Chains A and B, each alone.
Chain A
Amino acid sequence: SQTIHQWPATLVQPVGSPLSLECTVEGTSNPNLYWYRQAAGRGLQLLFYSVGIGQISSEVPQNLSASRPQDRQFILSSKKLLLSDSGFYLCAWSVGEGYNEQFFGPGTRLTVL
């Protein structure tokens, strides 16, 4: 069966510090991968999505970046965090066409102080 892992589960970082969030998927190959951010009490904002290794599409350029070094690994990074980067970061995967459901990971709750 397929599983998706995210770590860390929670993170408290000072403004200006770097960030690296990791997401890995097991039990499937060539998944579509997504990073979303959810601010407190708000909806899901698509940040990045990838349909293959090295293929990253950005929706919110700002100070975040994403990489996909391996087929089932998706990394979200920042060189310098801002207060506005606080939120609940969710990684998701799907396979095939868009009409297939997305499976979400457990999320990382990031607080920038």
Chain B
Amino acid sequence: QQPVQSPQAVILREGEDAVINCSSSKALYSVHWYRQKHGEAPVFLMILLKGGEQKGHDKISASFNEKKQQSSLYLTASQLSYSGTYFCGTEINNFNKFYFGSGTKLNVKP
């Protein structure tokens, strides 16, 4: 049930771009993206619903390919504040139950 995230870790320089992928073996109802700083609780980034939509705010956007059961998070012109671990959470049947991936650790360096 748990989605698979890739890559496991990314190191970037400020201003570089990154893509984080999340794939599921089950049909998805929605995909959530969160970022967690070390020792803190995860913080919500965005939700994508069944229907293959794309969303974004600031320089972080995401897409959801319903047919491929995949979602991707795009970080453009990364900033130091983007560092952290990114998790995708997948909802399969709209039963308010979520399964999270193992996370992608992003390290943005000056």
Contacts and interface: CB of A to CB of B under 8 A. Distances in A.
B29 A98 contact: yes
Contacts of B47: 99-101
A107 interface: yes
Nearest to B98: A46
Contacts of B94: 97-99
A36 B97 CA distance: 11
Interface in B77-110: 87, 89, 91, 94-103
Interface in B5-41: 29-30, 32, 34, 40-41
Interface in A23-69: 32, 34, 36, 42-46, 49, 51, 57, 59
Nearest to B29: A98
A37 to B, nearest CB: 11
A46 B29 CA distance: 17
A106 B44 CA distance: 14
B100 A99 contact: no
Given A90-B42, A98-B30, A51 B103 contact: no
Contact of A90 (B41, B91, B103): B41
A106 B87 CA distance: 17
B102 A101 contact: no
Given A42-B103, A43-B103, A97-B94, A102 B44 contact: yes
27 contacts: A34-B98, A42-B102, A43-B100, A43-B102, A43-B103, A44-B42, A44-B89, A45-B100, A46-B97, A46-B98, A49-B97, A51-B96, A57-B97, A94-B96, A97-B94, A98-B29, A98-B94, A98-B95, A98-B96, A99-B49, A99-B91, A101-B44, A101-B47, A102-B32, A104-B42, A104-B43, A105-B41
